[in-house]
Chain A
């Protein structure tokens, strides 16, 4: 076996170091979740290595706190956000891909301004508005606001997907007798599948994570991030670890299952053009 060159050794040391730094907080989270409290939260200087394993923390938390309602609320909002992103985003991206480049660029910029506006700036006046509209503390209301951040990104990803389809395919479908709607949904949408899935996932994951709009708009029927925050402020740290784990697992599963759609080339969207 040939000896490693110094550059190689530096590389492996850097890789190991970075891996440890990235994994450490995750390790701590799981350590606290699956160790008896007197080895973790109750200790002033807790040991870095696991000493005992328990499921007690999780079972207690799941029994004594209402996890189902926030979980359901989070799921509901996330799917709403993802579907609205496609419902508004697919036509918009298709339209943009068919406009003269100058006009399309201007409209994309306007969309991104909405993405840039601070959530807190928007939510302060709109909360009052939502009370009179009956949208306050509803999944729909929250989804409509989270959509502000998601829609421009979704349009951007979808635009890239539509731009990569040759125009002739669309013309061909029209000449072959398909109407506008049939061409879009029967021919172009299947070809933009990868981009659509990427946009859906990204929207879903953003909503799952979103806190600012949620903490102000759905105080009575909170989503998981808000519940976690509430429990931290109340000092229910063991329960928080349970919620944190419940919140993380779906995302990890989604990411693993649909990993191939979360690549740079799908997300880079309209940048390519």
Chain B
């Protein structure tokens, strides 16, 4: 089946700064794909190249199998929601939503019908005649969304559409966005720096770092099997922990999440607590190991600074000196130090599939 959107070897530089380096991607029809990465490292540029606002230095972009790399935006059949919504300030809500339809020469009755339907779905019927400068941020976001989904393009491009909302509205808007995407069954290409959004929304997530796609997979896999140490550090509430791999060669380390560790007074490892941070049910313990490495562990009980805790690692990934993930140790089991004993509810995440070689 032809992918809905395909990027091949996309490269883009601004002077010396590389914002995209040989990026290759392929989106299925109906997929919610999220590009996740830190601000200013090329996410928006990638989206803009798909939109046709910018042109890649090399590589090609295909939409429904059609080469569009050098086509202007209006010939690509995509729609887009910008971070600042880019509502036309000289038009009211109705005329904003009508604009893309007018550009395609829809008859007025059909435009009116489509807008009424969309407005009902998004709950903006009573503000259709309002000026876009007089409505709340949440309403502006819905109007921008309505304008994007009122026609049926091949791909929807969304550039951090929720980041201008305040935290409370953002939460409901996120759920709503996912629901709409599922109802429409359309392909969403979504850019964000917020991993919570990636986790909640995406079918698959691509992590972009300094113009390179570090890993493309479900969020679950990103979290449990980060392909690079950078991804392990970026994804998750706290960075991954690393300790030298007893079975590995020089520079090889094992990486593990706090919840892949069981505090066990009979455990083979020890660390001294430096700092303890209470987060609801759990405590995050910033510890120093005898090797002098800083790691973060979790505990259901309080441990004060200066205390020594013993633990065992029940699950881990191995990373080579280049920072890339290596296959599990020759025994095929991975560096596991005893059976997993669930200590908190939150540890449920560690029950994910065991590490496998892709």
Tell me the A residues contacting B by CB distance below 8 Å.
Answer: 166, 168-169, 171-180, 182, 187, 190-191, 193
Q: Which residues of B contact A182 (CB under 8 A)?
A: 103
Chain B interface residues toward A at CB < 8 A: 48, 51-53, 72-74, 76, 78-80, 82-84, 86, 88-90, 99-100, 103-104, 147, 157
Residue of B nearest to A189 (CB): B90
Q: Tally of A-B residue pairs with Cβ under 8 A?
A: 61
Pick the contact of A175: B51, B83, B84, B104 (CB < 8 A). B51
Known contacts A166-B84, A182-B103: does B74 contact A175 (CB below 8 Å)?
A: yes
In the complex, A191→B87 CA distance in Å?
12
Q: How far is the CA of A168 from the CA of B47 in the complex (A)?
A: 13
- Are A171 and B72 in contact (CB-based, < 8 A)? no
Chain B residues with CB below 8 A from A172, complex form: 80, 82, 86, 88
Given that A176-B100, A179-B74 are known contacts, is A171 also in contact with B88, CB under 8 Å in the complex?
Answer: no
Instruction: Indicate whether A177 sits within 8 Å of B80 (C-beta atoms), given known contacts A171-B53, A191-B89.
Output: no
Q: Given B78, B88, B157, which contacts A187 in the complex, CB threshold below 8 Å?
A: B88
CB–CB B99/A176 < 8 A: yes
- Please give the distance in Å from B291's CB to the nearest CB on chain A: 50
Note all chain A residues with C-beta closer than 8 A to B147: 176
Q: Beyond A171-B73, A190-B90, is A176–B103 a contact (Cβ under 8 Å)?
A: yes
Known contacts A166-B84, A172-B80, A191-B90: A177-B72 contact under CB 8 Å: no
Are B86 and A174 in touch, CB under 8 angstroms? no
Please give the distance in Å from B55's CB to the nearest CB on chain A: 13
Residues of B within 8 A of A174 (CB): 51-53, 72-74
Residues of B with C-beta under 8 A to A178 = 74, 99, 103
CB < 8 Å neighbour of B88 from A169, A177, A179, A180? A169
Residues from chain A with Cβ under 8 Å of B103 in the complex: 176-178, 182
Q: Please, which residues of chain B bring their CB within 8 A of the CB of A169?
A: 86, 88-89
Return chain A residues, CB-CB under 8 Å to B73: 171, 174-175
- 5 further interface pairs, Cβ-Cβ under 8 Å (given A176-B99, A178-B74, A193-B90): A168-B82, A171-B73, A171-B80, A176-B147, A187-B88
